[in-house]
Structures are given as C-alpha cells and as structure tokens.
C-alpha cells in the first residue's frame, strides 16, 4: 500500500487511516491492493459471462481467441458489457425514484404517517408538466394523480417520457431522429437486458444507441422523478450553511450517521432526532444532544434541505466508523460497502439496514416502509441514544470546515433575481467562461478527493463556474471551496459575479440523482439562447467515478449534449471501435463525446479547450488554451 499521503489529500482520511492500521481494521485501500493485478480481460471489457456456452474472453494481443463461443467479436462483447453497466446504473437510480413515487402515493392515500407534501408549489408545477388538472383539487388528490402519472412513465404506455419536455426542442428532435427517445423507464432497461442477451442485438453501434436511450430514461426519467418527488415531499432546497468532514461528529453528543441514497429513511430519522423526548433521554445518558450527520448521498439530501453536516464521502464511510464515535449508522441502499458491518464490529457502533432490497453482513435489519417509518425511526434513534453509554475511546482528529449547500435550480435562479439572464450575461461578457458539472464517486484507483478538488480549483481559477453533486460535493466542501469567501480562489470574472451574488464559486446541487438539476439548468440556458445544450460552453466531469450509476450519468450527460471527461477508464479499451465511437464518433451523433483523463490538471485543460471552442462557435469571445 502506498503511504497515507498518496492515498488521500484530506487530513481526516490520513489520520483515520493511521488509526485503522493501529486498530487492525482493513479498509477499501488494502482490499484494492490485494486485488492487484486486476483482470485485464475484465478491465478491457473483453470477458463475457453472459451465457454459459462461455465464459469467454478475447485475446487483446490478437493471437489467442478473437471470438466468443457464440461468435461475438471484441466490439460486440465490449458494447454488450458497457450497455449492461448502463442498464444497471439506470435501474438503480430509477428504482430509487420509484420508491419515492410509492411514498408520494402512500401520502396521498393517507397511509404514510409522518410524511407530507412539503412543497405544494412544486407539486403543482410538476402536476402541470404531467398534464394533471390542479384547479379546485385538494393537494392529496393532486399528489395521487401525479404519482399515478409518474408510474406510467415507468411503464410501456408512453411514446416518450413526460419530463423530456424540459429538454430543448432541438435536442428532442435530435433524439427522435437517431431513435433514442426514451419511452418507458423500466422498458429501456428491460430492452437493454434483452438486446444484450445472446443472439439478440449484435450490432455494436445499435447496442450503444440503446445504451444512450437507456441512460436518457434515467436522466430525464427515473432520476428526474426521484429529485422532483423528493422536492415535493421534503422541500425544494435553498442555500443552507453547514459543516463537513469527520470533525462534524461530536464527542459530547450521540452521533447518528445516515448512509445511502434515499431521503425517505433519513428524513424520518432527522425528525426523530429533533424529538424532545429523545433529546431528554440523550441528556439523561450523559450526552449533550443528538447529532445527525450524513455520509454519501442520503447525507447530501439532508444537507441540501436542512443543512445537516456531512462526515464524508464514499471512501470515508469506513473511516468514519473508525472514530469510535458513531452510536448508530443507518443505511438504505447503493454504495454501501459490505465491509461496514465488520468494521463497526470493532467499535460499539450499531449498524442498521433499512431497505427491503438491501441487506448486509453484520447489520441488523429493521425495515422501513411508508406506514411504519415514523415509528421505526423513533425506535431506532432511541436505541442509538441508549448505545451512547457503550462508547469507548473516541478519536475525532479534525475540526469541521464550513460550507454552503442547497443550490437547487430554483435557488440558483432565485439568487440570480428570478431569471437565468444575469448568468447568461456574465457568460456572454466572458466574465464566466462557462460552467462544468463535476459529478460522481470516489475510487481507490485515484488519490482520494484529489481529482475532484484539483479539477474544481483549476476551473474556477479560469472563471468557470462549477456545480457539483454527490461525493464530489463533499470533497470540494472539505477543501473550502463552498463558502462565499472561496471566490478568492476564483478568477477575476467569476469572483466578481459570485461576489456580487454572495454565492460560492462551486455550487452544491445535491445528491447523485440530483445530477438532473444540471440537465434542467443546462436546458434553461439553452432555451434562453435558443440553442441546443451541445452548443453551450458546458462540460461534465467524473474524475473519481467507480459505479454503474456513474457510467449511466456520464452517458445521459453525453447523450444530452454535454462533453464529459472521465477520470478512470471504463472497461472499453478492448474494442478500438467502441473507444473511437465514444471519444469521437458520438460528436456526429449527439454533438458531444466522452474523454478519459485521470490527471485532473490535464482534464482541466481539455475542458477549458472545449469551453473556449464552444464560445467561439457561439460568436462569443474566446481564448486559445
């Protein structure tokens, strides 16, 4: 294993890594080391486990087998594998969205005590988009109809997804022309799995096109529904001050950490943490209070709406436990390492799994459903408080860093004075060169947070506005880029604009399903200019991505016309054709491509060059990069 300095740029990670070594706790980095070398067939996408005439692999050197048993060549195998990644990512986000729609329906039916419609305004505007009549109807009736209409989006009755209407006209026409307009959320995933079955679609180009459509069904479908319904149920985010890093855990309080993605569980936990009874119990047990903190995206959901502090991102989840300061960690699903139960076992931390679809070794399973969530949350917070007395030595080695989160599109437009015009003017004037959405995960292949923070710094230095989500947002917040004073690190133009608005140069847009807020923002800008998204000086980046969900996000970004730079290489290099299509050919298809560049310094150059190129094409001032 490399030294701790080579593992993470963050002080809390380094100090806690030292502690895990002292405590004999195995972390993701050691397991990554133990996996080296990783299988080259799998890394290149050249292994196929789809059927049991195989498994097969293609020799990348050209001497060994060049076709699988079925006859699939490298192009087909690589395309099928990539498409299955996209399908899995789309399924994950969209299933998360489905769970929210079910809660919305349960609220409407009066079967979800504790949950309510927090933002009627948003409900009504979404209802309008779904063509649901709102006049004279009570809120719950509208909610029921909206939930119903959303369920239709998951099915097979529609010719195209409802929320595609948010995309610029030109983009929708392009999708129609190349045949990638997503019809039903589950349908596209299902069809993707069908097409990649042995003996179905063996055109690597047509497979990849369905991959685009499947990703779009997530970005403009499942994920977008997840975000919209979350806003309806829990409120549209607005800027909130908060704190980040492991220092947000409190030595004198009961620490409860929520981990996972869906606010359905964490919102109820938050409510319970504010209960006077339980606060009294905490004081009785010798604690000064109950401190709720987040890791991963469910934390981001709470941060966006309530300013709840974030203890860390994906690669911090094990280290947070090693503080010995966590009374209880509650998880729902996605990105929860199955190692957590074992690590918690080294401390007094109780681990609770809450979703009927996600179980983990070493965790106690306490299932949350809309009808029992409020009660279950209270029970569990009580147990967490009771666990405070079992706490042993605590190690919280850093002080928390301030940050501001909560920039929904509504909040950004609000900060701009109710219209995107000021932002467009700043872009036209060249004060802001463009905007970049930095998204995605952590990956032990990349020095923890280095990609996110370095890229963000380079972009704001060069007057490029950064919006981020998910694990990136924690990284940049820890690095101090998410306070208004961070404009000192920005270039003069961006500094002026953000300074005038009183906002940081790096805006926290939410969790990983909230990447759709970036799509909505980009569409608003494109519409205001009367162009397509692909004409805008925008880019996406996923400097430390690891998950199938991230593969899907990257794909819907590109399919929506956003040039996207990946850090780690996706498993595609076994096919020069697929690589060529993704990095060049797609430009002619959707007006955007992927690039791969693990070094964030170089990625920043690629992005600046792209943005200046787009500016030039729009007739705006541009510089040579």
Rule CB under 8 A: say whether 361 interacts with another protein. no
Rule CB under 8 A: say whether 341 interacts with another protein. no
Q: Report, in Å, the least distance between residue 239 CB and another protein.
A: 32
Q: Report, in Å, the least distance between residue 376 CB and another protein.
A: 35
Q: Where are the alpha helices (DSSP H) in 109-138?
A: 120-129
Q: Within 13 A of 468's CA, how many CA atoms are on the CB side?
A: 33
- What string marks each residue from 283 to 322 as x (binds another protein by CB under 8 A) or -? ----------------------------------------
Tell me whether residue 31 or residue 177 sits nearer to another protein (CB atom). 31
d(C-alpha 509, C-alpha 301), whole Å:
10
The interface with another protein within residues 50-69 (CB under 8 A) comprises 57, 59-65
Tell me whether residue 46 or residue 467 sits nearer to another protein (CB atom). 46
Tell me whether residue 47 or residue 255 sits nearer to another protein (CB atom). 47
Strands of 143-229 (E only): list them. Answer: none
Name 246's Cβ contacts closer than 8 Å, sequence gap at least 6.
12, 16, 311, 312, 316, 319, 320, 323, 396, 397, 398
Q: Report, in Å, the least distance between residue 590 CB and another protein.
A: 22
Of 154-162, 283-291, 313-321, 568-576: span binding another protein (CB under 8 A): 568-576
Q: Report, in Å, the least distance between residue 497 CB and another protein.
A: 31
Tell me whether residue 68 or residue 239 sits nearer to another protein (CB atom). 68
Q: Report, in Å, the least distance between residue 435 CB and another protein.
A: 25
Rule CB under 8 A: say whether 579 interacts with another protein. yes
Q: Report, in Å, the least distance between residue 580 CB and another protein.
A: 9
Nearest CA-CA partner of 520 in 496, 506, 538, 502: 538
Rule CB under 8 A: say whether 445 interacts with another protein. yes
Q: Report, in Å, the least distance between residue 315 CB and another protein.
A: 14
Phi, psi of 342 (to 5 degrees): -65, -45
Q: Report, in Å, the least distance between residue 576 CB and another protein.
A: 5
Starting at the edge strand that comes first in sequence, how are the strands of the sheet with 290-295 ordered?
364-365, 350-353, 328-331, 254-259, 290-295, 310-312, 240-244, 401-405
Rule CB under 8 A: say whether 37 interacts with another protein. yes
Tell me whether residue 1 or residue 617 sits nearer to another protein (CB atom). 1
Judged by CB under 8 A, the number of residues near another protein is 46
Rule CB under 8 A: say whether 271 interacts with another protein. no
Q: Which residues pair with 540 in a beta bridge?
A: 437, 564
Of 148-156, 299-307, 411-419, 440-448: span binding another protein (CB under 8 A): 440-448
The interface with another protein within residues 585-624 (CB under 8 A) comprises 596-600
Q: Report, in Å, the least distance between residue 214 CB and another protein.
A: 24
* Residue 550 Cα distances to 250, 297, 442, 554, 574, angstroms: 32, 13, 11, 6, 20
With H, G, I as helix, E, B as strand and everything else as coil, classify residue 403.
strand
* Residue 278 Cα distances to 114, 323, 373, 616, angstroms: 17, 24, 16, 60
Q: Are 521 and 407 in contact (CB under 8 A)?
A: no
Structure tokens that stand for 250 in this block: 């409190």
Name 344's Cβ contacts closer than 8 Å, sequence gap at least 6.
321, 326, 329, 350, 351, 362, 363
Q: Are 443 and 568 in contact (CB under 8 A)?
A: yes
Q: Report, in Å, the least distance between residue 26 CB and another protein.
A: 7
Of 208-216, 247-255, 411-419, 561-569: span binding another protein (CB under 8 A): 561-569
Rule CB under 8 A: say whether 575 interacts with another protein. yes
Per DSSP, the residues of 69-108 read TT---HHHHHHHHHHHHHHHHHHHHHHHHHHHHHHHHHHH
Name 422's Cβ contacts closer than 8 Å, sequence gap at least 6.
416, 497, 501
Q: Report, in Å, the least distance between residue 233 CB and another protein.
A: 40
Considering only residues 128, 200, 280, 576, which one is a binding residue for another protein as defined by CB under 8 A? Answer: 576
Of 193-201, 383-391, 446-454, 524-532: span binding another protein (CB under 8 A): 446-454
d(C-alpha 412, C-alpha 509), whole Å:
9
Tell me whether residue 538 or residue 579 sits nearer to another protein (CB atom). 579
The interface with another protein within residues 145-184 (CB under 8 A) comprises none
The interface with another protein within residues 454-483 (CB under 8 A) comprises none
The interface with another protein within residues 508-547 (CB under 8 A) comprises none
Considering only residues 11, 18, 43, 371, which one is a binding residue for another protein as defined by CB under 8 A? Answer: 43
Of 26-34, 127-135, 207-215, 275-283: span binding another protein (CB under 8 A): 26-34
With H, G, I as helix, E, B as strand and everything else as coil, classify residue 274.
coil
Q: Are 103 and 233 in contact (CB under 8 A)?
A: yes
A 10 A CB-CB count for 484 gives 16
Tell me whether residue 6 or residue 173 sits nearer to another protein (CB atom). 6
Considering only residues 195, 447, 458, 478, which one is a binding residue for another protein as defined by CB under 8 A? Answer: 447
d(C-alpha 385, C-alpha 320), whole Å:
18
Strands of 417-559 (E only): list them. Answer: 434-438, 464-469, 506-510, 538-542
* Residue 88 Cα distances to 288, 296, 458, 551, angstroms: 43, 19, 33, 9
d(C-alpha 150, C-alpha 144), whole Å:
10
Q: Report, in Å, the least distance between residue 59 CB and another protein.
A: 5
Strands of 124-235 (E only): list them. Answer: none
Of 39-47, 185-193, 281-289, 491-499: span binding another protein (CB under 8 A): 39-47
Rule CB under 8 A: say whether 44 interacts with another protein. yes
- Rama region for 401: left / alpha / beta (φ>0; ψ in -120 to 50; rest): beta
Tell me whether residue 55 or residue 131 sits nearer to another protein (CB atom). 55
Rule CB under 8 A: say whether 26 interacts with another protein. yes
d(C-alpha 336, C-alpha 314), whole Å:
8
The interface with another protein within residues 363-402 (CB under 8 A) comprises none
Considering only residues 22, 157, 194, 197, which one is a binding residue for another protein as defined by CB under 8 A? Answer: 22
Q: Report, in Å, the least distance between residue 15 CB and another protein.
A: 17
Rule CB under 8 A: say whether 34 interacts with another protein. yes
- 622 by Cβ neighbours in 10 Å (0-12 / 13-18 / 19+) ranks as middle
Tell me whether residue 26 or residue 371 sits nearer to another protein (CB atom). 26
Q: Residues interacting with another protein, by CB under 8 A?
A: 1-3, 21-22, 24-26, 33-34, 36-44, 47, 57, 59-65, 445-447, 450-451, 567-569, 573-576, 579, 596-600
């Amino acid at each position: 294993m490399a030294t701790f300095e080579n593992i993470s740029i963050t002080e809390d990670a380094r100090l806690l890594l030292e502690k895990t070594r002292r405590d004999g706790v195995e972390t993701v980095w050691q397991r990554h080391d133990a996996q080296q070398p990783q299988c080259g067939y799998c890394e290149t996408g050249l292994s196929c486990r789809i059927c049991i005439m195989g498994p097969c692999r293609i020799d990348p050197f050209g001497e060994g087998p060049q076709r699988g048993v079925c006859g699939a060549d490298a192009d087909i195998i690589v395309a099928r594998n990539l498409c299955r990644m996209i399908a899995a990512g789309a399924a994950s986000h969209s299933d998360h969205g489905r769970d929210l729609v079910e809660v919305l329906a349960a609220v409407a039916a009066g079967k979800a005590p504790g949950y309510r419609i927090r933002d009627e305004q948003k409900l009504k505007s979404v209802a309008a988009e779904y063509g649901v009549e709102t006049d004279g109807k009570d809120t719950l009736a509208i909610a029921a109809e909206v939930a119903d209409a959303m369920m239709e989006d998951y099915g097979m009755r529609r010719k195209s997804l409802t929320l595609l209407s948010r995309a610029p006209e030109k983009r929708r026409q392009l999708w129609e022309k190349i045949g990638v307009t997503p019809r039903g959320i589950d349908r596209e995933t299902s069809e993707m799995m069908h097409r990649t079955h042995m003996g179905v679609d063996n055109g690597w180009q047509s497979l990849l096109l369905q991959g685009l459509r499947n990703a779009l069904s997530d970005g403009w479908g499942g994920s977008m529904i997840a975000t919209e319904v979350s806003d309806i149920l829990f409120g549209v985010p607005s800027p909130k001050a908060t704190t980040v890093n492991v220092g947000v855990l409190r030595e004198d309080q009961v620490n409860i950490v929520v981990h996972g993605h869906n606010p359905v569980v964490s919102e109820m936990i938050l409510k319970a943490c504010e209960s006077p009874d339980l606060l009294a119990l905490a004081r009785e047990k010798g604690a000064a209070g109950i401190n709720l903190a987040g890791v991963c995206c469910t934390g981001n959901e709470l941060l966006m709406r309530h300013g709840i502090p974030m203890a860390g991102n994906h690669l911090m989840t094990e280290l947070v436990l090693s503080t010995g300061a966590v009374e209880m960690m509650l998880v729902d699903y996605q990105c929860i390492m199955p190692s957590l139960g074992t690590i918690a076992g080294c401390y007094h931390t109780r681990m609770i799994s809450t979703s009927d679809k996600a179980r983990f070794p070493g965790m106690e399973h306490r299932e949350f459903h809309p009808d029992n969530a409020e009660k279950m949350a209270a029970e569990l917070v009580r147990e967490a408080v009771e666990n405070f007395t079992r706490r042993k030595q605590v190690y919280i080695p850093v002080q928390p860093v301030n940050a501001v989160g909560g920039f929904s599109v509504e909040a950004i437009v609000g900060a701009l004075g109710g219209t995107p015009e000021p932002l467009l003017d700043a872009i036209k004037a060249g004060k802001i060169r463009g905007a970049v959405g930095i998204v995605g995960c952590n990956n032990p292949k990349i020095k923890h947070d280095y990609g996110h923070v370095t890229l963000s710094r380079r972009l704001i230095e060069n007057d490029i506005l950064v919006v981020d989500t998910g694990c990136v947002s924690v990284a940049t917040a820890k690095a101090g880029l998410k306070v208004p004073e961070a404009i000192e690190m920005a270039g003069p133009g961006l500094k002026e604009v953000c300074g005038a608005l009183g906002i940081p140069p790096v805006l926290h847009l939410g969790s990983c399903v909230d990447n759709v807020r970036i799509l909505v923002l980009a569409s608003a800008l494109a519409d205001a200019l009367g162009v397509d998204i692909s004409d805008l000086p925008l880019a996406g980046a996923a400097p430390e991505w690891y998950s199938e969900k991230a593969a899907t996000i990257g794909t819907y970004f590109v399919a929506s016309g956003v040039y996207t730079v990946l850090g780690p290489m996706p498993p595609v290099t076994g096919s020069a054709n697929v690589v060529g299509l993704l990095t060049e050919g797609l430009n002619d298809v959707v007006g955007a491509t992927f690039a791969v560049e693990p070094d964030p310094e170089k990625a920043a150059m690629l992005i600046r060059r792209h943005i200046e190129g787009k500016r030039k094409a729009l007739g705006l001032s541009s510089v040579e990069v």
